[in-house]
Structure 1
Amino acid sequence: MKFDLDQNTRKEILIAVTEKLEDYYANTKACKITPTIDVANIKNLVSQVDLINGMDNFEAIDYVTKNLKENSVHTPHPSYFGLYNPRSNYAGIIADLITAYFNPQLAAWSHAPFAVEVEAHLIAELASKFGYSTNKFDGVFATGGNEANQTAVLCALNNQYPNFNRDGIFSVSKKPIIYCSEEAHHSVHKAAKTAGLGYNSVIPIPVGNDQKLDTTILKEKIEVSTQSNHAPLMIIGTAGTTGAGIIDDLVEINNIAKEYNIWFHVDAAYGGAAALSEKLRNQLKGIELSNSITFDAHKWMSVPMGASVFITSHPNILAKTFSISTEYMPKDADKLEVVDPYCHSIQWSRRFIGLKLFLSLLFYGWKGYEETINHQADMADLLRNKLTNNGWVVLNKSNLPVVCFTDEKNKNDQNFTTQILENIYENGNSWLSVYPINNINCFRACITNYNTTESELDELIEELNIERDKYTK
């Protein structure tokens, strides 16, 4: 068949692709991190190709790899200090290749029993790491934190309203309300919107000077809701905010959730990996008390996009929320003590998401992950010290490798961070972002790469110092 190509051609293509990818993987640091943005040129690069007849196989490979290399922000670069986009570990990359070859269909247990059981085992392992009871948990792999948070909202609704799975929003007499920090990820708002609750069902709670959700204000807002035509549905605590890497007071949030009988969800998409480190685990105190957790393996566990997990301490809630019966799906699971994934999640047909985490653990083990996480935390501590010694001021208090800082003399100058970042992006040697802390625009540097060393930290600070001196002259 034409789609298969012949065996020799396949081997030649694999060799050609592998050589290009290995060269990029081995020499990522030689790349300019930030591309030159020319919208018209990039649109032309895409539109000029012949999609009717196609092109030579090897020309196609050259075309794609060349343009990805020239027109991407290189997040695998060790001097990328940006968002939670880490370099993929090699086991995860190979896992994606294996998954593409076998292409298992994880909708039904009987179609991919090994793959489904691998993911079930990983859910159990992660539930244990987060402190859930060994016989009181459930979970499912998701495409990303957005899907996992949406799953949490749907589970909270089905838990609160017995007929929600049948009558939906029409079974609700009072408007359900979701409470979260104003620093929470906006996937919470998106989840509320797609669940039919609307943006206005989300009440952002202000944070204190420590950037944590203010639990006093939270209680006040809940009291106001209960006295109106609203029904408190869930509280979302964040474990590792996108901006400053802050972990909310999960213990106190749980106490409030229990007092008002509200579903307590923890968005630990990034910071959840702290549970894998003896050094950092205590930062997540209270997460074991939650009703559910969002965790992104594609963040701090450095596997390719996207690999998220939704875990809950309610063993039956996923089935209640997503179970459905059809005539055309295999019925093998009906006679076995197993669960068909399509009855357990938003997704129906889906790929083997969990393999990239499973193979990574087979390669490196939990111990390897703990060493890597500790290394990145140590690099962040070192960066904080180096910044302070060079006259910069760190403004966030986080034990996670997220550092927000500014220059004391220029902190109120709105153009300071913008101008310096423009110069840094143009140089292409490093990449960091900007984030406001207490109304001050700060530089935000996150250690996302397990290959980042003291050398990259020194290069970043040297560049920052040079740009600061140029700006103040």
Structure 2
Amino acid sequence: MEDHELDRDAQTGMPPEPRTDDDPFAVPRASETVLAALAAGLREGTVSTASPRYFGHFTTAPSEIALRASAIATEANPQLATRSHAQFAVDVEDLTVRALASRFGYAPATADGTFTSGGAEANAMALALALARAFPEIAQRGLRALAGDPVLYVSNEGHATAARAARLAGLGSDGVRIVPVDRKLRMKPGALGEAIARDRARGAIPFLVVATAGATSAGTIDPIPEIAAIAERAGLWLHLDAAWGGLAAFVPELASVLEGSARADSITFDPHKTLAVPLGAGMLLTRHPRALASAFHEQAGYMPRDASRDPYARSTMWSRRFIGAPTYAVLASLGWSGVAEMLARQVALGDRLRRALGERGWSVVNDTPLPVVCFVDATHEDGARPDRLAAIAREVDARGAGWITLVRFSSGTRVLRACVTSPNTREQDIDALVDSLDSSRKAVFSRSAAP
């Protein structure tokens, strides 16, 4: 990105190369040399997700207080397996979990949750919660104890980590039912109900529905109340993957789009996508106070006897770091009003991008109130061709005006995609991106027309 200069070797003009010997650690090197090489290598070989002109994946730019909190926690290095080793850190995470759970409508007094490495881990843990609730016998006998095939349901715009979690849990890809979406890329509740009925008729055992709030490709939000009603009637666990779209819970103007989220049995939310904290800081929240311990508690002679409330007993992780420190610091320093202002600004910038693209001959093809915009060129007959769009994205990157992506919807349609996730992005960054898109489009189509 244009706002980052690289430290380069005075003779070669290139950043220091990593060692490529058969044994790169055979000869000790000075610590300053090692650290300088790491810093230079990261500057040269990493997409700058901290840049205000990074419009790629759902990765926020960490704030100064989040980075400082992370450094403090790293230096202290508390061991968060048990409360007895890190009472303060565990208490901080617990109060942060309860406070964030309340934003989704959970009762703080009974809500539970844990910090995770990110949404992938949280979604896998949610599957484990659903299995433990539906089939308590598998804790001892495993899936062989079941009389039929357990199946879960997710839309074809849902995150791929749901399918991965099913494979890791031993359900296999055959245990995942892909529910079709409507023209707005939202799960069809009617199709979900029909799929559950078909599976039960053939002897399968439905146990989990995964709804999405803020799909990765287009930011769409499934109809949560309708899906919750179907899951409740069928007696299935409902998990809401709101890893990024959960930002709506903090912006009063958007709160209605998450209506029904409190009816979900569990929720994935990623502070490292929304709250200006560094990777990896995800969360799994649940409205069932004993669900985590029921699924993950293990007795061990070297652990406290009464450990059901210890972090290790409520998570897939055992020994772990103080993940929640940066999130606590951001929330404590900004307050709810400051968080709302930060995220509302990103939403407004997303709206600005939509308007500007429409005025410049681009066609916006997704429908979401969240700050992610999917679009194609509308000024040329072949403006929606994937190779043309990919060339435009590369040209924008080469010009240093922004980093955007090319994504594929479940329908197979490929589109350009830009999302606003950085608290440092400003109106001039949006305007520079649109200007660069226009000039890049012109350059790409001029080259294609050349003999």
TM-score in terms of structure 2 length = 0.92
Contact between 2:78 and 2:85, CA under 8 Å: does it hold in 1?
A: yes
2:432 equivalent to 1:462: no
Contact between 2:399 and 2:436, CA under 8 Å: does it hold in 1?
A: no
Task: Say which SS state the counterpart of residue 211 (structure 2) adopts.
Answer: strand
Could you say what the CA RMSD is over the residues aligned between the two structures, in angstroms? 1.9
Gaps of 5+ in 1: 1-27, 34-40
Contact between 1:32 and 1:428, CA under 8 Å: does it hold in 2?
A: no
The 5 A counterparts of 1:303-452 are 303-331=277-305, 333=306, 339-408=309-378, 409=380, 410-437=382-409, 439-452=412-425
**CA distance in structure 2 between the partners assigned to 1:432 and 1:46 by the alignment:** 32
The 5 A counterparts of 1:13-412 are 30-31=3-4, 45-47=18-20, 50-331=24-305, 333=306, 339-408=309-378, 409=380, 410-412=382-384
Contact between 1:142 and 1:309, CA under 8 Å: does it hold in 2?
A: yes
**CA distance in structure 2 between the partners assigned to 1:91 and 1:339 by the alignment:** 29
TM superposition shift of 1:161: 1.0
Contact between 1:411 and 1:440, CA under 8 Å: does it hold in 2?
A: no
Deviates most, 423-432 or 206-215: 423-432
TM superposition shift of 1:167: 1.6
**CA distance in structure 2 between the partners assigned to 1:412 and 1:444 by the alignment:** 13
TM superposition shift of 1:203: 1.0
Task: Say which SS state the counterpart of residue 115 (structure 2) adopts.
Answer: strand
Contact between 1:411 and 1:441, CA under 8 Å: does it hold in 2?
A: no
TM superposition shift of 1:32: 7.3
**What is the match of residue 6 of structure 1?**
none
**CA distance in structure 2 between the partners assigned to 1:183 and 1:46 by the alignment:** 42
Contact between 2:186 and 2:221, CA under 8 Å: does it hold in 1?
A: yes
**CA distance in structure 1 between the partners assigned to 2:332 and 2:60 by the alignment:** 20
**CA distance in structure 2 between the partners assigned to 1:166 and 1:126 by the alignment:** 34
**CA distance in structure 2 between the partners assigned to 1:361 and 1:218 by the alignment:** 37
Task: Say which SS state the counterpart of residue 83 (structure 1) adopts.
Answer: coil
Contact between 1:29 and 1:78, CA under 8 Å: does it hold in 2?
A: no
Task: Say which SS state the counterpart of residue 230 (structure 2) adopts.
Answer: helix
TM superposition shift of 1:104: 0.6
**CA distance in structure 2 between the partners assigned to 1:176 and 1:135 by the alignment:** 32
**What is the match of residue 453 of structure 1?**
426
TM superposition shift of 1:313: 1.2
Contact between 1:379 and 1:401, CA under 8 Å: does it hold in 2?
A: yes
TM superposition shift of 1:50: 4.5
- Check 1:287–1:411 CA distance in 2 against 1; reply closer, same or farther (3 A cut): farther
Task: Say which SS state the counterpart of residue 265 (structure 1) adopts.
Answer: strand
Partner deviation per Cα, 1:362-390 (whole Å, 9 max, x = no partner): 22222211110000000001111111111
TM-score in terms of structure 1 length = 0.88
Partner deviation per Cα, 1:424-461 (whole Å, 9 max, x = no partner): 23333310001235543211000011111111111111
Task: Say which SS state the counterpart of residue 30 (structure 1) adopts.
Answer: coil
TM superposition shift of 1:43: 12
Contact between 2:210 and 2:239, CA under 8 Å: does it hold in 1?
A: yes
Gaps of 5+ in 2: 7-13, 447-451
- Check 1:54–1:268 CA distance in 2 against 1; reply closer, same or farther (3 A cut): same
Task: Say which SS state the counterpart of residue 233 (structure 1) adopts.
Answer: strand
Partner deviation per Cα, 1:348-370 (whole Å, 9 max, x = no partner): 11111111101112222222111
Task: Say which SS state the counterpart of residue 391 (structure 2) adopts.
Answer: helix
Partner deviation per Cα, 1:88-123 (whole Å, 9 max, x = no partner): 111111122111111111111111111111111111
**CA distance in structure 2 between the partners assigned to 1:411 and 1:259 by the alignment:** 46
**CA distance in structure 1 between the partners assigned to 2:192 and 2:41 by the alignment:** 48
**CA distance in structure 2 between the partners assigned to 1:417 and 1:77 by the alignment:** 23
**CA distance in structure 1 between the partners assigned to 2:234 and 2:82 by the alignment:** 38
Partner deviation per Cα, 1:124-159 (whole Å, 9 max, x = no partner): 101111101233321111111111111110110110
- Check 1:181–1:42 CA distance in 2 against 1; reply closer, same or farther (3 A cut): farther
Deviates most, 166-175 or 446-455: 166-175
TM superposition shift of 1:29: 5.3
**CA distance in structure 2 between the partners assigned to 1:250 and 1:261 by the alignment:** 16
**CA distance in structure 2 between the partners assigned to 1:354 and 1:227 by the alignment:** 45
TM superposition shift of 1:251: 0.3
